[in-house]
């Protein structure tokens, strides 16, 4: 009887150690998730800043274009500089929008490190190296 009690305590201790290990692993993964969440927040803010700049440049290009059209109706000389300015601001806006689109489509996916660690955990549990 004493021997059976000893094995029960050993089993319970093993379960407790396993639970502590699982909780420790979960805690580590949640910390990684929190860090990546902060990185994603910063990335979104960065994208919003660049989007705001692109919109501002686009609006400036439209305003300059309207100004060029209005001035063109008043006078017939010296508009090449204003037209070039309008073209440059519009081209810069389009370039920024294309760059933002490229970064959104081809940038790293969110939570890549967390997902990679979970893949490693699953592979380790399966006995893969």
In a domain? residue 29 = no
The closest alpha carbon to 29, from 16, 21, 129, belongs to 21
User: Sign of the C-alpha dihedral, residues 48, 51, 55, 60?
Assistant: positive
> What range defines the domain where residue 62 resides?
36-126
Mean pLDDT of 78-97: 78
In a domain? residue 14 = no
Phi-psi category of residue 68: left, alpha or beta, with phi > 0 → left and psi -120 to 50 → alpha: alpha
pLDDT value, residue 25: 85
- Among the residues of 75-111, which ranges form H helices? 80-106
In a domain? residue 11 = no
- Which of the four pLDDT bands, split at 50, 70 and 90, describes residue 48? very high
CB atoms within 10 A of CB 72: 14
In a domain? residue 17 = no
In a domain? residue 3 = no
In a domain? residue 41 = yes
In a domain? residue 67 = yes
Number of domains in the chain: 1
């Amino acid at each position: 009887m004493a021997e059976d009690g000893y094995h029960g305590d050993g089993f319970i201790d093993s379960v407790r150690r396993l639970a502590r290990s699982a909780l420790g692993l979960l805690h580590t993964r949640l910390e990684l998730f929190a860090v990546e969440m902060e990185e994603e927040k910063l990335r979104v803010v960065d994208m919003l800043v660049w989007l705001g700049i692109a919109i501002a440049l686009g609006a400036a290009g439209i305003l300059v274009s309207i100004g060029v059209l209005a001035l063109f109706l008043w006078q017939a000389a010296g508009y090449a500089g204003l037209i070039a300015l309008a073209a440059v601001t519009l081209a810069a806006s389009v370039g920024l929008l294309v760059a933002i689109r490229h970064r959104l489509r081809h940038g790293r996916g969110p939570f890549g490190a967390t997902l990679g660690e979970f893949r490693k955990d699953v592979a380790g549990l399966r006995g893969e190296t």
